[in-house]
Amino acid sequence: TQVPDITLNTGNTIPQLGFGVFQIPADEVVEPVKTALEAGYRSIDTAAVYGNEEGVGKAIAESGLARDDLFVTTKLWNDRHNYDEALRAFDESLDKLGLDYVDLYLIHWPYPGQDLYVDAWKALQKLHSDGRAKNIGVSNFQIHHLRRLFEETDVVPAVNQVELHPNLPQGDLRAFHAEHDITTEAWSPLGQGKGLLDDETLRALADKYGKSPAQIVLRWHLQLGNVVIPKSATPARVRENFEVFDFELADDDMAAVTALDTGTRVGPNPDELG
Ligand code: NAD
């Protein structure tokens, strides 16, 4: 299976489907990452705060895959937005991953009360110009946080990784990203599983297409143009989530999934965290 690439505003590409490792403990992450790499995933999404960068690095090293063929993302945690602190945090992440560059480095949350995300963004620009972060972006940024970066700095984020699933389709943010050439990456693309995947509309579509509700939701993301990073520690599901390139949702079925919008988040509101 060939995963489509999305071209970022840097000219580099990111695989449209990757593997997320949030909430997989460090000592348990090696096997799922290996399973994902064996299934064909080439993009892995971790973060300093997940505490499992070492395990991700170990799985990558043991996979025998060429570094060039992989796309590795990690993220700067909220307490390290200060410029010098951000540079140090990046060094620590690289060291834990056992890599000499990452493909994508993100500011994990704007953490607006602290008001240091512009400083952090300048540190990421330095890492980008040094070639150690091939692409830089943000996560959980609202439109007003992005506008602030536009006003105070010269570099537009390549990616904004945000909570996005059928209960929270993020139409306004997606339109803003499209206007400014920012790639939309969806976290909790399955709405963290429970609840959403029991939805009757999704079950009916699953029957219609001979797929699972999770595959219907991932297909919806892909057809919207989102980058997705579903997570599972269950090998059969890791593989199932990769088998989404052999069917296509009709326009009215795409609309039926988008109509599941309830505005409900599974994570914090970025304006209220920090
Ligand atoms: P997700 O939407 O990927 O859901 C994962 C859960 O869904 C699994 O734990 C499992 O319970 C269930 N599931 C997965 N595949 C399934 C299948 N085929 N059938 C049935 N159930 C299935 O949620 P997530 O892990 O929160 O998000 C994915 C990734 O996004 C994370 O691992 C992480 O890398 C990233 N993330 C980023 C942020 C951020 O702030 N930037 C926040 C949360 C997550």
Do 99 and 134 contact (CB within 8 A), yes or no?
Answer: no
Residue-wise pLDDT tens digits, 105-137: 999 999 999 999 999 999 999 999 999 999 999
Cβ of residue 170 lying under 6 Å from some atom of ligand 1: no
For 193, which DSSP code? S
| Gap between the Cα atoms of 31 and 5, Å rounded | 25
| Gap between the Cα atoms of 238 and 132, Å rounded | 29
Residue nearest to ligand 1 atom 30, measured at CA:
187
| Gap between the Cα atoms of 128 and 73, Å rounded | 13
User: Structural domain boundaries of the chain?
Assistant: 13-191+228-245
Q: Is 80 exceeded by the pLDDT of residue 1?
A: no
Cβ of residue 160 lying under 6 Å from some atom of ligand 1: no
Cβ of residue 161 lying under 6 Å from some atom of ligand 1: yes
pLDDT band at 2 (very low <50, low <70, confident <90, very high): confident
Fold of the 13-191+228-245 domain: TIM Barrel (3.20.20)
Atom in ligand 1 nearest the alpha carbon of residue 189: 2
Q: Is the ipTM of this complex over 0.85?
A: yes
| Gap between the Cα atoms of 20 and 232, Å rounded | 8
Q: Is 80 exceeded by the pLDDT of residue 25?
A: yes
| Gap between the Cα atoms of 244 and 164, Å rounded | 18
Q: Which residues are annotated as a binding site for substrate?
A: 108
Task: Report the pLDDT value the prediction gives residue 194, as an integer from 0 to 100.
Answer: 85
Concerning whether 101 is annotated as a catalytic residue, the answer is: no
